Amino acid sequence: MTDPAGTDAGVPEPTARELTAASAVFGARLGLARGFVAHLASSGIERGLLGPREVPRLWGRHVLNCAVVAELMAADASVVDVGSGAGLPGLAIAIARPDLRLDLVEPLERRVIWLKEVVDDLGLDNVAVHRARAEEMAGILHGDYVTARAVSALSTLAGWTIPLTRAGGQVLAIKGRSAGEEIDKARKVIRKLGGGTAEIVMAGADVLEEPTTVVRIPVRPA
């Protein structure tokens, strides 16, 4: 693995509390998580995948916020990450859980190029990157779980994620304080697409000061 940031002092170190959480979440792969953060803080900022103001918050607000979603997933499962962008949550989950198989779906070429560079540099053999829109992958990719973060409102996101979810699988969408309102607005769409009752669950409550809010949508067996 190369050093993507060289000796750049701008690459953030986790706070003591974040380091404790990161050690619990990533375990022996903490070095890979550090490498991912270094990529985000250097080439990720340079190529416009994240704003420079996010650098001090990369560990807590972004990488750990995403990685803890893996605790909601069964062993050896397949995961499709929609709108992967800067690898959030897809790459964070892949680093935390090497037993999972991740397919990252991203339509923008410059982001796909960056994702592939990071995957290759970190040696993540459980990740494949696809340049496509989510709706183009329906019938091609199917995951036991389908994830998304900061992609679209749930009423739209449901149409992109549920068709990629295996029967009996789950959509896990990272959301904020408006999660309940989004569920209310999306109920009819979710039901029409074959989704069950959406619920809000919290991930990372044992390690994060602010747990991650996740909307979980079960997909009914065929």
Question: For 58-108, how does the pLDDT look when each residue is reduced to its tens digit (9 = 90+)?
Answer: 999 999 999 999 999 999 999 999 999 999 999 999 999 999 999 999 999
Fold exhibited by the domain 68-218: Rossmann fold (3.40.50)
Beta-strand pair 165-175/212-218: antiparallel
CA angle at residue 8 from 89 to 44, to 5 degrees?
30
Q: How do residues 143-167 score in pLDDT, each as one tens digit?
A: 999 999 988 899 999 999 999 999 9
Task: Report whether 112 contacts 131 (CB < 8 A).
Answer: yes
Position 49 scores a pLDDT of 95
CB atoms within 10 A of CB 51: 8
- Tell me the domain boundaries of the chain: 68-218
pLDDT value for 1: 54
Confidence of residue 9 (pLDDT cuts 50, 70, 90): very low
